[in-house]
Amino acid sequence: MIRGVRGAITVNQNAEEEIVAAAERLFRTAISANNISPNDVASIFISATEDVNAAFPAKALRNIEGWTYVPVMCMKELSVPESLQMCIRFMIHINTELDPEDIKHIYLDGAEQLRPDL
């Protein structure tokens, strides 16, 4: 079964180094928390708010061994008034036998407000 693993993180500035470092930390945390192998990943969607455009967050995955051939797409997050800014979000589509409540969604550095129920 394919299920989604969600996550988000905020950055303090729109700089390539910070965007890639934050995205890599977010991905590594989600991968570890859910024991995800790149062979189990169908695809990854990544979005960023319009104020995060100095780098593609997907570049962070290329720093993680074994993730070269995972299909990744970056896109711009909807610009909703008063929504969280300077934010990178992802959804990893994984093949898993886990039940939905057993998936660990990861929200870091201020992004916890997006899903306080988790």
The tens digit of pLDDT for each residue in 77-106 reads: 998 998 999 999 999 999 999 999 999 999
- Within 8 A by CB and 6+ apart from 88, the residues are 8, 9, 10, 11, 19, 22, 23, 26, 46, 47, 48, 52, 57
Predicted local distance difference test score (pLDDT) of residue 11:
97
Catalytic choice (3, 6, 25, 28): 6
Asked whether residue 38 carries a pLDDT value surpassing 90, the answer given is yes
Asked whether residue 114 carries a pLDDT value surpassing 90, the answer given is no
What top-level class would CATH report for the domain 2-114? alpha beta
Domain boundaries, the chain: 2-114
Residue 49 in 3-state DSSP?
coil
Active-site residue 89, yes or no? Answer: yes
The answer to whether 89 touches 47, Cβ cutoff 8 Å, is yes
Active-site residue 115, yes or no? Answer: yes
- pLDDT, tens only, 54-84: 999 999 999 999 999 999 999 999 989 989 9
Catalytic choice (3, 25, 28, 62): 62
C-alpha dihedral sign at 34, 37, 40, 42: positive
Amino acid type, 16: E
Could you tell me what percent of the chain has a pLDDT over 90? 86
Catalytic choice (65, 74, 87, 112): 74
Structure pTM? 0.93
Asked whether residue 116 carries a pLDDT value surpassing 90, the answer given is no
Residue reference for tokens 């886990």: 98
